[in-house]
């Protein structure tokens, strides 16, 4: 039985059985601890020399994708053809409009943005070097704290006023980026659909009747609608990748511990990741270059190997000779015909670039998913459980029910599940990824659901929520990096074509390789307006 739709007692039994099955895969001496997660990440980390260096291959020109992204626009800024103030004014107007049409934006910061834009133009006029993200218009999920500004973390009323800037915000601002406002999210980041019973729903910019995906709903919708060119999202079970593919943008969930979460709301401290959502893989690379780094203020932060810290130099390099692994069984279960066709077409496009496609061994993904659900429930309840007991009812029914599920999880079971993460990660890399560089898998197996399907806690709504995270959550449990890429359109039962896509999953610290492959895919001549989502020109409905 799927743990998402089980009764509390049945769910606990499912978690216990899944833990026992995974324990049987892991050998250890009695009384000795398993390999810690941070040790397993370092031990299985990607090595730069794993990138294919094909004899006689020459570097591909870094072609522009079929729409404008910040990588292209910053060239005009550098050449003096665009002012940051003009960019900021245009983005602010668009952000207000998108906020009205989709509810993607909670608050727009006009004065702060324009003052920062003036400073950018002054630096440029003075001949100072252009910052990595100089003038890049961004807005962020409403769990990223901004000093002196309110935050709500998806709740109907403000949760407080921030007295610090989140570490990610500090990194982006140091690189010259503009921070233009707060974006919609589901309550305490606990719903993958992007709906919000108490604060109001965010709507997919491709169709107002459909979900944008969550919990980084506003980040996906605002970037897709062209209001900003990038946003920070968070991903505990898929919340960067789901809205990325449902809105038609690119997002990357980094290796666990690579990007600091200090100054951002916690949902599940062993599964939370922060990462960029943008129009293109190369824009993700720009943002990640400013975000990645060890931070002692985040207890989950892990120093990355030095060789993995360059996210830009691989862009434009050939991908010929690289190997993509394709998993069957779990990742092909219940696939809609259009999703299946999109995946097939995407693999064929990689093959055209000389990438080798290989099958990979199976792994107990159902059990990984079950343990991740249990850990997230326990940790979320520890942090936010008091709100679920508040008689004033400040949380919606769905969020309250999820938090209540964490109350009866035994500490021994929780700790046992945590201890399995390190050894299972090592097994996964050694067994599943031994002969491949990355895996290609779907993110969501179905057409985009309609918002009305989540209006009540029905069995159908519970099933859809489980399906939204089924293909992404096991990757959080393993702490692996994963990049979501738009791959095409899927037609639902209502006849409407909506964006969908796939994820590239890598070994720990293989973000440079994922970005290289994502950029190669997005600069293919076949990546055209005719068959793939174009984030800068959406059909508003």
Is the distance from CB of 521 to CB of 527 less than 8 angstroms?
yes
Angle 122-168-255 from CA coordinates, rounded to 5°: 135
Q: Is the dihedral of CA 66, 84, 107, 93 positive or negative?
A: negative
Q: How far apart are CA 325 and CA 318, in angstroms?
A: 18
For residue 345, the SS3 value is helix
Question: Distance (Å, rounded) from C-alpha 176 to C-alpha 259?
Answer: 18
Closest CA to 139 of 244, 216, 74, 229: 229
Q: Which of 491, 133, 88, 169 is nearest to 311 (CA)?
A: 133
Which residues lie below 8 Å from residue 296, measured CB to CB, with a gap of 6+?
Answer: none
What backbone phi and psi angles, to 5 degrees, belong to 160? 165, -175
Beta-strand pair 137-141/178-183 = parallel
Which among 249, 255, 477 has a CA at the least distance from the CA of 376?
A: 477
Active site residue 317: no
The total number of residues shown for the chain amounts to: 541
Give the C-alpha separation, 342 to 356, whole Å: 18
Indicate the SS3 state at residue 390. Answer: coil
Number of Cα atoms under 13 Å in the Cβ half of residue 96:
7
Is 239 considered catalytic here?
yes
Best CA proximity match to 184, nearest among 164, 204, 170: 204
Among positive and negative, which fits the CA dihedral 264, 156, 138, 529?
A: positive
CA 490 to chain centre: 20
Of 6, 52, 83, 141, catalytic? 141
Q: Quick check: 292 and 258 in contact, CB under 8 A?
A: yes
**Distance between CA atoms of 99 and 200, rounded to whole angstroms?**
12
Residue 90 is encoded by which pair of tokens?
């245009």
Q: Phi and psi dihedrals of 97, rounded to 5? A: -65, -45
Rg (CA), the chain: 22
215 is a catalytic site residue = yes
CA 324 to chain centre: 20
Residue 500, SS3 per DSSP: strand
Q: Which of 83, 91, 239, 244 is catalytic?
A: 239
Would you say 374 and 409 are in contact if contact means Cβ atoms under 8 Å apart?
Answer: yes
- d(Cα 511, Cα 272) in Å, to the nearest integer? 17
Q: Which of 6, 52, 215, 244 is catalytic?
A: 215
User: Where in the sequence numbering do the catalytic residues fall?
Assistant: 141, 215, 239
């Amino acid at each position: 039985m799927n743990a998402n739709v089980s009764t509390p007692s049945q769910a606990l039994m499912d978690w216990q059985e899944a833990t026992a099955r995974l324990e049987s895969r892991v050998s250890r001496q009695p009384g000795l601890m398993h390999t810690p997660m941070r040790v397993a990440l370092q031990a299985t980390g990607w090595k730069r020399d794993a990138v294919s260096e094909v004899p006689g291959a020459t570097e591909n020109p870094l072609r522009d994708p079929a729409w404008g992204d910040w990588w292209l626009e910053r060239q005009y800024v550098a050449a003096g053809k665009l002012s940051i103030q003009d960019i900021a004014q245009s983005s602010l107007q668009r952000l207000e409009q998108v906020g009205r049409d989709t509810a993607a934006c909670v608050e727009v910061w006009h004065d702060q943005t324009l003052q920062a834009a003036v400073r950018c133009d002054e630096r440029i006029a003075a001949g100072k070097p252009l910052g990595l993200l100089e003038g890049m218009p961004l807005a962020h999920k409403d769990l990223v704290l901004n000093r002196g500004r309110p935050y709500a973390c998806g709740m109907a009323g403000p949760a407080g006023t921030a007295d610090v800037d989140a570490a990610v915000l500090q990194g982006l601002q140091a690189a010259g980026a503009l921070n233009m406002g707060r974006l919609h999210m589901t309550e305490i980041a606990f719903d993958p659909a992007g709906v919000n019973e108490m604060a109001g729903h965010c709507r997919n910019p491709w169709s107002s009747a459909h979900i944008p995906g969550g919990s980084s709903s506003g980040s996906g919708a605002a970037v897709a609608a062209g209001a900003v060119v990038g946003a920070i999202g968070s991903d505990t079970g898929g919340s960067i990748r789901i809205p990325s593919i449902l809105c038609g943008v690119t997002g990357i969930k980094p290796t666990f511990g690579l990007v600091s979460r200090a100054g951002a709301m916690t949902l599940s401290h062993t599964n939370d990741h922060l990462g960029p959502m943008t129009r293109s893989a190369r824009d993700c690379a720009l943002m990640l270059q400013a975000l990645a780094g060890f931070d002692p203020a985040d207890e989950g932060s892990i120093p990355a190997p030095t060789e993995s810290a360059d996210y830009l130099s691989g862009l434009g390099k050939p991908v010929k000779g690289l190997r993509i692994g394709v998993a069957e069984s779990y990742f092909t279960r219940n696939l809609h015909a259009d999703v299946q066709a999109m995946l097939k077409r995407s693999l064929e496009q990689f093959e055209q670039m000389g990438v080798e496609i290989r099958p990979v061994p199976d792994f107990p993904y159902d059990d990984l998913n079950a343990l991740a659900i249990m850990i997230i429930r326990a940790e979320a309840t520890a942090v936010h459980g008091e709100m679920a007991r508040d008689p004033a009812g400040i949380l919606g029914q769905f969020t309250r029910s999820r938090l209540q599920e964490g109350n009866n999880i035994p500490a021994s079971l929780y700790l046992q599940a945590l201890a399995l993460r390190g050894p299972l990660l090592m097994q996964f890399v050694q067994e599943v990824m031994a002969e491949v560089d990355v895996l290609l898998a779907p993110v969501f197996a179905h057409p985009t659901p309609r918002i009305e399907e989540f209006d009540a806690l029905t069995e159908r709504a519970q099933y859809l929520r489980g399906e939204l995270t089924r293909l992404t959550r096991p990757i959080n449990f393993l702490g692996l990096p994963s990049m979501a890429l738009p791959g095409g359109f899927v037609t639902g039962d209502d006849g409407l074509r909506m964006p969908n896509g796939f994820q590239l999953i890598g070994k720990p610290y293989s973000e440079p390789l994922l970005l290289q492959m994502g950029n190669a895919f997005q600069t293919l001549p076949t990546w055209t307006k005719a068959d793939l989502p174009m984030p800068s020109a959406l059909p508003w409905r």
